[in-house]
Amino acid sequence: MEFGRVTDEELAGVDFTLPPDPQITTDTLAAAKGKGALQVHVGCAKWGRKEWVGKIYPPKTKDANFLDEYVKHFDCIELNATFYNVYGPDTIAKWKAKADSNPAFKFCPKFSQSISHIRRLKNAEDITTTYYEGVLAFGDKLGPLFLQLSDNYTPKSFPELKAYLEQLPKDIPVFVELRHKEWFAIAENRDKVFNLFRDLNIGSIITDASGRRDVVHMALPTPHAFIRFVGNSLHPTDYARVDEWVERIASWKEQGLQSVWFFMHQHDERYSPELADYVAEKLNAALGVQLMRPQFIDRDRPTNQITMLL
C-alpha cells in the first residue's frame, strides 16, 4: 500500500500517538456495553504474495495454492481482489471451498472500483447488484464488506454518498473508508458523515498510515472497529504503534466494543506476516483470546534441522 507513505527521513518526525476517542465513539460503545463478547480477527490484504513462499508458504508452493496455505495462518482476509474485478458466484465459491478447512475464516471483500472510483456511487445500482450476487456465494465465510472512497472524493459528494448507502442491503455489515482531507479537517463535514454512518449502522474504517494522521480519526459510529494498519517494513515504530493499538482496543472492549478487524499492510508486503504475528500475540495476551498466529517455516523448524542446513 502506497497511501500515506513517507520517506525514511520523514518517518522520524511522525507523531504516531493515537488521538483521544471522540464523543461518537464513547456514546456508541456505551450503548453497546454488555451486548456480547468481543470478536477479534487479524489478517492481511492479499493471499497472493510470492515473497511468503519459504516463509509461511512451503517452498515451491504454486500460485494456485496460495489461498490454501493462507487460511492455515490467518482467520480473515481484507479481499482487495474484488476491487479490481467483479467476480461471479462460481469463482467466489471456489475461494470459499479453499477456506473450508478453517471454520472461523472470513472474507471481507472490497467494493469494486467500478462502483466507488469510476461511477463514484452514481448510477451504480446494476454493478452493485452484480457485486453482491458474487460475494454472497461466500456464505458463512462472508465477513463485512468495505467501501473505499478515492482520495478525490470530497464532502461535496455527500448527497451521492448518502443516497448510495441508504439503498444498500441491511443484513451484511459495511464499512466505509474516507480519504479526502476535508472529511477530517472541517468539523461540520466530519460530524455530518459520521452521524450518517451511525444512523445507517455503517462502520467507519480507521487507516493508520504514517503520512496521513488525519485518517486516524478514532470515530466508531458502530460498536465494530475495522483497522487498516500500514507499517514501515518492521521499523521499531511499527511495534510501538501496535502496542498502543492493543491498549486502545482493550479499552474499547471494556467500554462495549463488539468486534475488531485488524488488517496488516506494509509498503513492502513481504513483512506483513511478521507484524501480523506480533499483533496476534499481543491481542491474545491483552484480551484473553486465542487468535491464530502465522507459522514461520524457519522459526518452527526443529533446531537440529536448522543446524543441518547451516
The CATH number given to whatever domain includes residue 27 is 3.20.20.410
Residue 259 within a domain: yes
Place of cell 487460511: 71
Residue 74 within a domain: yes
Residue 1 within a domain: no
For the chain, strand residue ranges (E) read: 39-44, 76-79, 106-109, 145-148, 174-177, 203-208, 224-231, 259-266
Query: How many Å apart are CA 296 and CA 299, to the nearest integer?
Result: 5
Q: How many domains does the chain have?
A: 1
pLDDT of residue 308: 34
pTM of the model: 0.94
Residue 295 within a domain: no
pLDDT of residue 293: 96
Residue 168 one-letter amino acid: L
Give the number of other CB atoms < 10 A from CB of residue 65: 14
Residue 304 within a domain: no
pLDDT of residue 192: 98
- The whole domain housing 81 covers 8-287
pLDDT of residue 299: 67
Residue 294 within a domain: no
pLDDT of residue 270: 92
Query: How many Å apart are CA 303 and CA 301, to the nearest integer?
Result: 6
pLDDT of residue 8: 87
Nearest to 252 by CA among 280, 279, 226, 281: 226
Look at strands 259-266 and 39-44 and give their pairing.
Answer: parallel
Residue 307 within a domain: no
The DSSP H or E segment spanning 192 is: helix 187-200
pLDDT of residue 281: 97
pLDDT in tens, the chain (310 residues): 778 888 888 999 999 999 999 999 999 999 999 998 999 999 999 999 999 999 999 999 999 999 999 999 999 999 999 999 999 999 999 999 999 999 999 999 999 999 999 999 999 999 999 999 999 999 999 999 999 999 999 999 999 999 999 999 999 999 999 999 999 999 999 999 999 999 999 999 999 999 999 999 999 999 999 999 999 999 999 999 999 999 999 999 999 999 999 999 998 899 999 999 999 999 999 999 999 999 999 765 443 333 333 3
pLDDT of residue 306: 36
